[in-house]
Amino acid sequence: MPSNPVSPPDDDTWPYASQTLTFDWPAQERFARWSGDRNPIHMDAVYARRTQVGAPVVHGIHLVLWALEHLAATQPFTVHSLTAKFKAPAFVGEHLDLEVGAGAAGKRRIRVQGGGRTLAVIQLNADVSPSAEVAVLAAVLPGQWPETPRLVTQEQMTTQESRFELLEDPALMRWFPHLCTAIGATRVAALAGLSRLVGMICPGLYSVFNDVELAVVEPLPFDPTQTASAPLTFRAISYDERFRLVRLQVGGAGIAALLGAYLRPSPVQQPDCAAIQQRAVVSTRQFVGATALVVGGSRGLGEVTAKLLAMGGARVILTYAVGQQDADRVAEDIRRHGGDCEIRQYRIGDAPIVAAQDGTAVTHLYHFATPAIQGRRETLFQADVLTDFNRFYCDDFHRCCEALSAHGHPVRAFYPSSVAIEDPPVGWVEYAMSKAAGEVLAVELGRRLPRLQVLVHRLPRTETDQTLSMRQATAMPALDVMLPLVQQMQATV
């Protein structure tokens, strides 16, 4: 059993050597400080909701350090090489478990599990992996760590190379004492530096860390119980355009590694009001007299709908749940192009909005509020996921319609259903079920509630953040989808 080189910190007893763990926001901040990886998919909940995973993700290398510290604290620990594969995102606040198993020829396999699924697999080998031999990177020139994540394009990917100094943070030794003893504090810092390399430099902003194959290189040029200034050098050695997969060779600080990382799709940018005006898709007087409430109007279908309505002369009340910056951006675009737009924060369950701030009654409702659609699914069907969708697609639509009907003015409401009802993509069962239930409800509301007309339409797969995929999937532009529907909705104004 290795000795503990330093005492654990007195001010916090974070259980890195525990077999179960929940990574909270302070833990995210700690790792960002140690590693320098401040990619917003890890650090910004509002940003992360616009990614495929829909929520902030724990740094993959942070999981690896936790797993290795646990192993080093509980078992004799010798490692010459390791591989880590990140199979699914671990979310901030999620309960995670470690499962340690022995493999053949002295190998050890550690699984990080969450929600009944394996999220990462780390394998330790007693031998050196030939493909991760010392990188020949001597010719690479020094560079600077960026303050914010780089935006590397596909064209630039194969030209990426640089040499960087590692962060010197003694906290790493306090938090990972057994691991530092086992492999040296500098190598622990180098591991953390891999996260920074992928998240901040290459592929940078739109990165997904997929795998690492790492060999311990001797001799370690520094005292194993102290971090010290050490360069880490990398070079992009291949880029596969089909999958947007870059492979990086990394060397220095007592390690040699091969990394795989994907360039994930960027958030979908909807057309601005100038583009809508240029295409002359609506006349500026077409919707005058209407006051339209667009619930969930800060991005995606709601954003396009709000812009279309405003460019057609309607007064728009646009709501957002958490993305105020997005809502501000949409509203500014609308106002800059002569439109009338009011922003309100509205979370499902809040008192429904029935009028503009000056008391003008809402005449049209477009209800696009939604949770993240693409999440991890452990089983074919999860009742809690269905319940969550129903809160948005049924409960809140019902509440809004009832309140508007009771307000005493004629109202038309749009219910955005989906073709997924007819052929649900893998993992979209609960979504399709909830939309089907919402359709039934919407029709009934139109029949039963006074002064309310409801238009239900099954939308095709549309280009929004919610349909982002690592695979090339066919999706229609949101503007093309919503234009005829908005015109149909507003036809009787």
Partner 1 sequence: MTEAQIYEKLTVLFQDIFDDDHLTIHADTTAGDVAGWDSFNHINLIVSAEAAFGIKIQSAEIEELQNVGQFVKLIHHRLAAKG
Of 240, 332, 444, 480, the residue at the interface with partner 1 (CB under 8 A) is: 240
Buried-state track 132-149, b at ≥16 Cβ within 10 A, e below 16: beebebeebeeeebeeeb
Cα–Cα dist 335/223, whole Å: 61
* 344 vs 377, beta carbon nearer partner 1: 377
Of 6, 46, 55, 88, the residue at the interface with partner 1 (CB under 8 A) is: 88
Q: Map residues 406-425 to x or -, x wherever contact with partner 1 holds by CB under 8 A.
A: --------------------
State the minimum distance, in angstroms, from the CB of residue 112 to partner 1: 10
Q: H or E segment at 96?
A: strand 95-102
State the minimum distance, in angstroms, from the CB of residue 210 to partner 1: 7
368 near partner 1, judged by CB under 8 A = no
Options 28-36, 302-310, 385-393, 464-472: segment touching partner 1 (CB under 8 A): 464-472
State the minimum distance, in angstroms, from the CB of residue 176 to partner 1: 25
9 CB-contact burial (10 Å; exposed 0-12 / middle 13-18 / buried 19+):
exposed
Q: Is residue 245 classed as helix, strand or coil in its secondary structure?
A: strand
**What are the C-alpha distances in Å from 334 to residues 193, 320, 339?**
43, 16, 5
* 85 vs 150, beta carbon nearer partner 1: 85
* 280 vs 426, beta carbon nearer partner 1: 426
Options 251-259, 330-338, 355-363, 376-384: segment touching partner 1 (CB under 8 A): 376-384
State the minimum distance, in angstroms, from the CB of residue 382 to partner 1: 12
- What residue spans of 21-59 are helical by DSSP H? 25-35, 40-43, 45-48
356 near partner 1, judged by CB under 8 A = no
350 near partner 1, judged by CB under 8 A = no
State the minimum distance, in angstroms, from the CB of residue 87 to partner 1: 6
State the minimum distance, in angstroms, from the CB of residue 363 to partner 1: 40
Q: Which residues touch 142 (CB under 8 Å, ≥6 apart)?
A: 162, 163, 164, 231
42 near partner 1, judged by CB under 8 A = no
167 near partner 1, judged by CB under 8 A = no
426 near partner 1, judged by CB under 8 A = yes
Of 377, 391, 399, 407, the residue at the interface with partner 1 (CB under 8 A) is: 377
Q: What is the rounded (10 degree) CA torsion for 182, 117, 428, 389?
A: -90
User: What are the structure tokens assigned to 85, written together?
Assistant: 């594969």
470 near partner 1, judged by CB under 8 A = yes
Cα–Cα dist 343/329, whole Å: 11
475 near partner 1, judged by CB under 8 A = no
Q: Which residues touch 278 (CB under 8 Å, ≥6 apart)?
A: none
State the minimum distance, in angstroms, from the CB of residue 107 to partner 1: 14
**What are the C-alpha distances in Å from 434 to residues 334, 384, 390, 467?**
32, 12, 6, 17
Of 262, 320, 392, 393, the residue at the interface with partner 1 (CB under 8 A) is: 262
**What are the C-alpha distances in Å from 402 to residues 317, 397, 492?**
18, 9, 21
Of 5, 33, 80, 87, the residue at the interface with partner 1 (CB under 8 A) is: 87
Q: What share of the chain is helix, strand, coil (3-state, %, to 5)?
A: 35, 25, 40
Stretch 176-215 residues interacting with partner 1 (CB under 8 A): 208, 210
State the minimum distance, in angstroms, from the CB of residue 376 to partner 1: 8
Nearest Cα neighbor of 392 from 321, 491, 344 is: 321
CB 297 within 8 A of CB 305: yes
379 near partner 1, judged by CB under 8 A = yes
Kindly list the strands in the beta sheet with 245-252, ordered across the sheet, starting from the edge strand earlier in the chain: 20-22, 95-102, 108-114, 117-125, 81-86, 207-216, 255-263, 245-252, 231-240, 161-165
State the minimum distance, in angstroms, from the CB of residue 258 to partner 1: 13
Q: Map residues 109-148 to x or -, x wherever contact with partner 1 holds by CB under 8 A.
A: --x-----xx--x---------------------------
Q: Is residue 476 classed as helix, strand or coil in its secondary structure?
A: strand
DSSP letter (8 states) at residue 196: H
447 near partner 1, judged by CB under 8 A = no
* 246 vs 306, beta carbon nearer partner 1: 246
State the minimum distance, in angstroms, from the CB of residue 25 to partner 1: 25
State residue 428 phi and psi, 5-degree precision. -110, 20
492 near partner 1, judged by CB under 8 A = no
Total of residues contacting partner 1 (CB under 8 A): 26
Binding site for partner 1 (CB under 8 A): 87-88, 111, 117-118, 121, 208, 210, 240, 242-243, 245, 262, 374, 376-380, 426-427, 469-473
